[in-house]
Amino acid sequence: MKKAIAFKSVKKNYGQLKAVNGITLSIEEGEFFGLLGPNGAGKSTLINMLAGLVKPTAGSISAMGFDVVKDYQNARHSLGIVPQELVFDPFFNLREMLRFQAGYFGKGKSNDIWVDEVIERLDLTAKASTNMRMLSGGMKRRALIAQALVHRPPVIVLDEPTAGVDVELRQKLWDFIKELNKEGHTIVLTTHYLEEAEALCNRVAMLRAGKVVALDTTNNLLKKFAAKNLKLRLSAKGVFKLPSSIKEINFSVDDDFYTFELKKIADISKIITALNKESIEILDMETVDQDLENIFLKLTGNKV
């Protein structure tokens, strides 16, 4: 399959700061790809270099086989970028803004039907003639998505598309983006909402300090860290020592709760037996499934 996007040894330095530090990564056509990472991990810098908003210090990036620097015009025809900030042009209404945006890509009057279709699919028809200033935040967010679609790009990049969006709209946007992917568009999503990546993305890359720390299918990542956690509340908090026999099992302490990472289910009886031996009472117990957030924390050591 053709590569929709390819980053090869891409670096971006801002003085001493290595914002992106040698990333090599390809995204296949038709994929729904997630780019995850804490603030400052390099996600937005990577997207901005792909979009041509920032120049790489080293390495090369291509979109649908076109180099984003040397063949930037064809590369940009292939990309529909949805920026993170809610920006808009206050002089025009929604339909005008979308027609202008399509025009910049060389799309003439014949494209106006598609513009109206995009407006309709994003449930904005009633607001098509409204000045951008008068639209609500959610509508502006949808308008930004519409802007990225007006020139029918094969690759759509969404930088935190659901940031600050209410639950109902978030679900609607998820459905819409899923639909676009089904229609054959390659989707690249950066997000802070790990549940979003888990629900939508076939494959994810996790970034930390400008480097990729994990790159796999979402399922494989979940499988790799599939073991459950055992969460216990114990009676003699703070002052007791855990039996040495269970110390080999990784655990973390949060308030009263001890969370043990189970490699196998048999670890549960080992832990309980050892605690009983030391007369440490178990007040509460639950098992917790792994999710991308836990995996993310393990890999990056950061809160998202």
Partner 1 sequence: MNNIHNQLIGTWTLLKKELLRFWRVAFQTVAAPVITGILYLLIFSHVLDSRVEVYEGVPYMAFLIPGLIMMSLLQNSFSNSSSSLIQAKVMGNIVFLLLTPLSYIQLFFSFLIASIARGIFVGFCIYLIATLYVDLPIEHPWIVFLFAVFGGGLMGAFGIIAGVWSERFDQMAAFGNFVIMPLSMLSGVFYSIHSLPASWQKVSQLNPFFYMIDGFRYGFFGQSDVSPYFSLSIVTIFFIVLSYGTIQMLKSGYKLRG
Q: What's the closest the beta carbon of residue 98 comes to partner 1, in angstroms?
A: 10
E strands present in the chain = 3-14, 17-28, 32-36, 58-63, 66-67, 79-82, 155-159, 186-191, 203-208, 211-217, 229-234, 251-254, 257-261, 282-288
Does residue 225 interact with partner 1 by CB under 8 A? Answer: no
Q: What's the closest the beta carbon of residue 105 comes to partner 1, in angstroms?
A: 6
Does residue 55 interact with partner 1 by CB under 8 A? Answer: yes
Does residue 137 interact with partner 1 by CB under 8 A? Answer: no
60, 74, 202, 259: residue in contact with partner 1 (rule CB under 8 A): 74
9, 24, 73, 219: residue in contact with partner 1 (rule CB under 8 A): 73
Place of tokens 């998820």: 174
Does residue 232 interact with partner 1 by CB under 8 A? Answer: no
Total residues binding partner 1 (CB under 8 A)? 31
Does residue 44 interact with partner 1 by CB under 8 A? Answer: no
Residues 6+ apart with CB under 8 A from 157: 47, 50, 51, 79, 80, 81, 82, 148, 187, 188, 189
Closest CA to 127 of 92, 166, 100, 156: 92
Does residue 52 interact with partner 1 by CB under 8 A? Answer: yes
Does residue 77 interact with partner 1 by CB under 8 A? Answer: yes
41, 122, 145, 147: residue in contact with partner 1 (rule CB under 8 A): 147
Number of Cβ within a 10 Å radius of residue 68: 23
Q: What's the closest the beta carbon of residue 128 comes to partner 1, in angstroms?
A: 17
Q: What's the closest the beta carbon of residue 45 comes to partner 1, in angstroms?
A: 9
Q: And the tokens for 268?
A: 């549960």
Number of Cβ within a 10 Å radius of residue 301: 10
Q: What's the closest the beta carbon of residue 69 comes to partner 1, in angstroms?
A: 10
Q: Which stretch binds partner 1 (CB under 8 A): 69-77, 214-222, 243-251, 259-267?
A: 69-77
Q: What's the closest the beta carbon of residue 207 comes to partner 1, in angstroms?
A: 18
Backbone angles phi, psi at 205, to 5 degrees: -120, 135
Among residue numbers 272 through 301, which ones bind partner 1 (CB under 8 A)?
Answer: none
Q: In Å, how far from its chain's centre is CA 281?
A: 41
Place of tokens 């979940």: 222
106, 137, 164, 301: residue in contact with partner 1 (rule CB under 8 A): 106
Does residue 83 interact with partner 1 by CB under 8 A? Answer: yes
104, 137, 164, 195: residue in contact with partner 1 (rule CB under 8 A): 104
The C-alpha atoms of residue 42 and residue 300 are separated, in whole angstroms, by 13
4, 47, 48, 187: residue in contact with partner 1 (rule CB under 8 A): 48
Number of Cβ within a 10 Å radius of residue 88: 18
The C-alpha atoms of residue 218 and residue 197 are separated, in whole angstroms, by 8
Instruction: Please report, for residues 3, 38, 78, 205, 292, the alpha-carbon distance to residue 48 in angstroms, rounded to integers and kept in the order given.
Output: 19, 16, 15, 17, 25
Would you tell me which residues interact with partner 1 (CB under 8 A)? 48, 51-55, 72-74, 76-77, 79, 81, 83, 85, 87-92, 96, 100-101, 103-108, 147
